[in-house]
Amino acid sequence: MFSYKHRYLFILLLSAYSYLNIKFTEGQRLFSTELPEWIFFGTILILVLFIWEGNRLIEKLNPTINFRNWVIHPLLVQFLLSLCLVISICWGLVVIDERILRHSLSISETKLALSFGFRINLFLYCINTIVFFNQRLKKTQAEADQFKMESIEARYEALRSQINPHFLFNSFNVLSTLVYRDADTASQFISQLSDVYRYLLSTKDNKVVKLEEEMQFLDSYLYLLRIRFNDSLIVHSDVAESKKGLFIPPSTLQLLIENAIKHNIISKRDPLVIKIYDEEGFIVISNNLNPKKVKEPSTRVGLENIKSRYRFINDRGPIIDSSDGFFTIKVPLIEITA
């Protein structure tokens, strides 16, 4: 507070205010003193200037003092030092008046200077305390926001880099079977698997990707799933071309399809039908519900992390509905203007 760049203007305004305040309340008469106006105003101006600048020096020296082993608050220490400063300034004024201005201050005039000095010092320290705690509050809030941001970023990074070990394990199982049964399909499977992981690696540092890129990645991912599940998995995609220029967090659709596969029975008798389409600024993923009787352990890296990612990059989050035998999740499409 004391190092404010426009402090000299405030010093002048505060001196003028104090001078007028004392004049209108006849403060001089309370101490039975009659100083010439120019000496009186000059004294006030010097008091305010030296109290302000002296406190600025104390404030600058304060960080060099170690208060960790002190029981008293640093602000209180500064205030106590400032009281000594006021006494020193008032004593200096007495010396100046006597030796330079050849005007000997009476006891009443000295009391007036001390009284005013302590008052202006208290006023400035009240303001300084408000500024001090306000800055500390802002700093605490900034640190809390930073920790929150880092926490969200960490969860975001964890989700972006998350590769379901079951998917990887199952893909290699399918591949090992194909190698001996159908070499051409195995070769195509390897190519699509390569595309899947190439996309995961290339987007690992991106917060969002175009929906068009996500859909192309999804084609490779679905190819692997169809080899594994054959006709037991049916996916219908109907997304308008005009929407494919919008953005979505990478791997969102893959994780939602993976979530559907994880929680539902998939068989020729009870196929899993997944529909992907756009609707009023959302991309919608809907599947029929046929829950597994024995649930797989939750890794909690699916829906909750997708929600966290959207909280991090957008003010709208996913909308989830589970009714009429269907599980539907709508994730917002993000529009980014150049």
Using a 10 angstrom Cβ sphere, with 0-12 exposed, 13-18 middle and 19 or more buried, the burial of residue 252 is buried
DSSP three-state, residue 1: coil
Note the pLDDT of residue 101: 53
Chain centroid to CA 171 = 39
Note the pLDDT of residue 213: 93
Note the pLDDT of residue 175: 83
Q: Look up residue 131 and give its two tokens.
A: 């500024």
DSSP 288-299: E--B-SSPPPP-
The whole-angstrom separation of Cα 149 and Cα 147 is 5
What are the structural domains of the chain? 7-150 (no CATH), 161-332 (3.30.565)
- 213 Cβ neighbours under 8 A, 6+ residues apart: 199, 203
**Amino acid in the structure at residue 77:** V
- 200 Cβ neighbours under 8 A, 6+ residues apart: 163, 250, 251
Q: Which residues of 21-52 are buried (b: 16+ CB within 10 A; e: fewer)?
A: ebeeeebbeebebebeeeebbbbbbbbbbbbb
Note the pLDDT of residue 71: 58
**Amino acid in the structure at residue 216:** Q
The whole-angstrom separation of Cα 110 and Cα 301 is 74
Instruction: List phi, psi (to 5°) of 286.
Output: -130, 140
**Helix 211-229 and helix 252-263, axial crossing angle in degrees, nearest 10:** 30
Neighbours of 99 (CB within 10 A): 10
Strands 247-248 and 326-332 come out as unpaired
Note the pLDDT of residue 216: 92
The whole-angstrom separation of Cα 181 and Cα 297 is 33
pLDDT in tens, the chain (338 residues): 566 667 777 777 777 777 676 666 655 554 445 556 666 677 777 777 777 777 777 777 665 455 455 556 667 777 777 777 777 777 776 666 666 555 555 565 666 667 777 777 777 777 777 777 777 888 888 888 787 777 766 665 665 555 555 567 777 878 887 887 888 888 888 998 888 888 878 887 788 899 999 999 999 989 888 888 888 999 999 999 999 999 998 888 988 998 898 889 999 888 999 999 999 889 999 999 988 887 665 555 567 778 877 877 777 889 999 988 899 999 999 988 75
- 128 Cβ neighbours under 8 A, 6+ residues apart: 1, 2, 55, 59, 75
